[in-house]
Amino acid sequence: MTKQLGLKNLSMVRLTDLFFFEKISGINSNVSFGDVSLYEDYKDFKMDRDQWLSWFKENKCKISDKDVKLIEQSVIDDTPWIK
């Protein structure tokens, strides 16, 4: 899958996804960012996931495809070091 996407590794996709979810929802993750970014506890991951899923359920009909594309491009532009 990673090769098909033209990415160096799957962790790059996940980090970009985190930034996207934070930006689109306004909900910051509990990830400890550093040389190695990770959730220190599985509970933190579950809390983020549940908050983002709840946000999505409440807002999925309010956000347009255009908004999603703009935010996606913004994340890509703001994180050139992930490329």
10 Å Cβ neighbour count for 75?
A: 19
| Residue 83 pLDDT | 63
| Residue 72 pLDDT | 92
| Residue 53 pLDDT | 94
Q: What region does 40 belong to: left with phi over 0, alpha with psi -120 to 50, or beta?
A: alpha
Whether the CA torsion 33, 36, 40, 46 is positive or negative: it is positive
Q: How many domains does one find in the chain?
A: 1
pLDDT (tens place) for every residue of the chain, 83 residues total: 344 444 444 455 578 888 999 999 999 998 887 777 788 888 998 999 999 999 999 999 999 999 999 999 999 898 887 76
Whether the CA torsion 52, 79, 72, 8 is positive or negative: it is negative
- Domain containing 52 equals 2-82
Q: Count CA within 13 A, CB hemisphere, residue 24.
A: 27
